Structure formats: C-alpha cells, structure tokens
Chain A
C-alpha cells in the first residue's frame, strides 16, 4: 500500500512540477537548467559529482570516477543534490529525498513528511548528520532532525527560488549555525533557528551558481558567479573578486586541506591550491 501511495505521490509531484515548469517558460526557464553539482564527503574522503542525472564518486581527487547506482525514480526527475554525512542522500524535483547506507545498492525514500517530492535544494547540518534541510518548491524550507523520518516546516524560505542550500557552523548564530541559500540573483543567509533571511554583502556579479566555505574556518566563503569567483573573509558580509582568468564555474566545494574543487558547465573538474586564482583541469 505504501508503494502505491508513494507512486501516486510521485506521479502527482511530477505532474505539478511539469505544470509549474511550463507556466514559467520564458521567465524562469533558465533556472530549470540541469547544472552539475559537487560536494566533498569528509567521512568517505571522496568527491561526489552529480551530472546529467547521474551520480559519481572519486576517491583520488578527481582522477577517476565511479558511478554510484541510483533508484529508478531518478530517471523521472531531476537530480540536483548529493550529500554524504555518514549516509548518502540524493534530492531533486520529483525525486524528493532518498537515503542510502550501502553506497547506492539500495535507496529509501525519507520524504514521507514533506508535502511533495519537488525538492529544489537540500543539505545536511554540518555537525549533526541526522539534521536535514530541504526546500520544497512553492512551499518553503523543511527540517528533519531524525534523518528524514519526520519533517517540520521552518519557514517560507527566501522569496527567490533557491538553487543551493549550504549549512555552516560559523559562529554568531543563536542556534547551532547558519544556512546559506543560493539563488540566481544573490546569496542569502539565515541562522538555523530561521530568524529571517538577509542578503549577504553586495555581490554585483551576474548569476550566482554555488557557494562553499572553509571547513576549518567557516568565515572564509567562496561563491561561483557568472563573473568569476568571489571570496569573503567574514561569512559573506563583504565580497572581493578573486583575481584570475579562470573559467566560469557552476559548482564548488572545499576539501578539508583547503583545496578548492569546481565544475564548469560541462561537468569537468578543476582544482585550485591557491584560493581560486589558478585552476588545473583534472578529468579532461
């Protein structure tokens, strides 16, 4: 019965997503572009790459990639996020949130408590692996504190569509940390008690793609934009453009040693050891 209900919900979700996409054609069509994404799994010391609805891992800094099996439902949706903090999570429109504890051999839906499976952004708490955050389209931001068993709506989220969500344990929050929400026009942040979203400092850099911060010094934040890489040394209060002639980067992550990894629009991996000033292609 659960399986039937789940399929019905997925069909409903897919229909509403398609309808929503059609209704925004010409205005927000670009925001539906399937850009690759990148994350670093500290536990497994590996890179995770999402590209063209597939999930890859690399344990050698991007020299070689292995495909991680995904559930069939992914083919019907749009995979936007993969995150690993003890367990592996995937999320996306019509996919909802799914969890695997055996490297993708089996997947379990952990989105029963969400109003729909149209999840546009997802992240895991920096220090609490069972605390998850998901943005549901046309609804708001939900939090789970039990690895997806139950979810609670925390707020409506920023007014602008959220492309990426990143949790940070930067100091100064009333609760345990901060959430960065990356939209096409700006980066916004909120304490993780959801006391309101505020824009980060002025970032007149065109379209914003992704954000990453230094794990051992979370006030150092990088953001990939249509006009190159920008850096902040105070959590995003002020941004400075990183000098260099690097390519346009659409996905960004930082390894614990401070190595920056990024993907260009084609999903090609690059690495920088000098805070984004020069980039070396790795899997070209």
Chain B
C-alpha cells in the first residue's frame, strides 16, 4: 500500500510539473486513472508479470515451449521502449511470439475483458514503474503512435 502511494505521488508530481509548465492544472482524473490502472493490473496482469511488475524468473531466456517468459515492467524490462499505441495493441489484441511452439498466444488478448479506457489506465500505471529518462524515451516514441482515440 505504501509503495502504491509512493508511485502515485511520483506520477502526480511529474504530471504537476509538466502541466504547470504548460500552464494547466492538476487533474484528479490522473489520480483515479492510476488507481484504476493498478487495480486492473493486480487483477489481470500480476499473475504473470508479478505483483510489483518484477516479471517471471529467467524472462530473458526462451523456455521449453520456445517462448520468452513474461518480462518485468520496471526499469530492467523493455516495456518502456514501446509507444502508447503498441502497448495498447499488445494488451488489447495479445501477441504471439513467432518462436512459440504452441498454438496459444504468448500474451493473451484483453479486448473482450477490458474497456479501451481500462487498457489505457493500465498502461498509465505501468509508466509509474519507469525512470524519468525511460518515461521521456517512451513519450518520444508515442509522439507518432499515441493511444487510439476510443481510449480517451
């Protein structure tokens, strides 16, 4: 619980700084979106990616099925390298590792489980796990590949 509030506070401070520079005010929508994102993450994502986003053991090595285990979402992972559009798409539609020897998706699809806004809130929550530099990188990647409009 303590960590959760640290993350939320960090995110809010960053948002506040950014919005202050832009001349805007702090939105309570951000707070509720992050809380919702964390709740959904714990319900649907944590079983594979870890309750603190730590990923599965040996996530960098292919397993016997030819798949890479669920990666961490923190600074040591690679989630921050993907644009908003790509992260949204992977959660919504899932993704199949082409080296996967099974018939199943490597990352399950959640578009029938979560609304577009809920998917977006999960991605926003994941951003609280990154370093400021990683957030900057990801924001640049997202400039040409933002969230789909239906997630607003």
Contacts and interface: CB of A to CB of B under 8 A. Distances in A.
Interface in B59-95: 59-62, 66, 68, 71, 78, 81-82, 86, 90, 95
Nearest to B59: A196
B98 A171 contact: yes
A175 B99 CA distance: 16
Contact of B81 (A171, A195, A199, A237): A195
A196 B99 contact: no
Nearest to B96: A172
Interface residues of B, number: 18
B4 interface: no
Interface of B: 59-62, 66, 68, 71, 78, 81-82, 86, 90, 95-99, 137
A230 to B, nearest CB: 18
Interface of A: 152, 154-155, 171-172, 174-175, 193-199, 235, 237
Contacts of A197: 60
Contacts of A172: 96-98
Nearest to B95: A174
A58 B43 CA distance: 61
B98 A193 contact: no
A154 B82 CA distance: 11
Given A195-B81, A196-B78, A175 B60 contact: no
Q: Return the 10 tightest CB-CB contacts between A and B, nearest first.
A: A172-B98, A195-B78, A196-B60, A193-B81, A198-B62, A194-B81, A237-B99, A193-B82, A194-B78, A196-B68
A152 B97 CA distance: 26
B71 A195 contact: yes
Nearest to A196: B60
Contacts of A235: 98
A142 B19 CA distance: 31
Nearest to A200: B99
Given A172-B96, A195-B78, 4 more contacts: A174-B82, A174-B86, A198-B68, A235-B98
Contacts of B59: 196
Contacts of B81: 154, 193-195
13 contacts: A155-B78, A174-B90, A174-B95, A193-B82, A194-B78, A196-B59, A196-B68, A196-B71, A196-B78, A197-B60, A198-B62, A198-B99, A237-B99
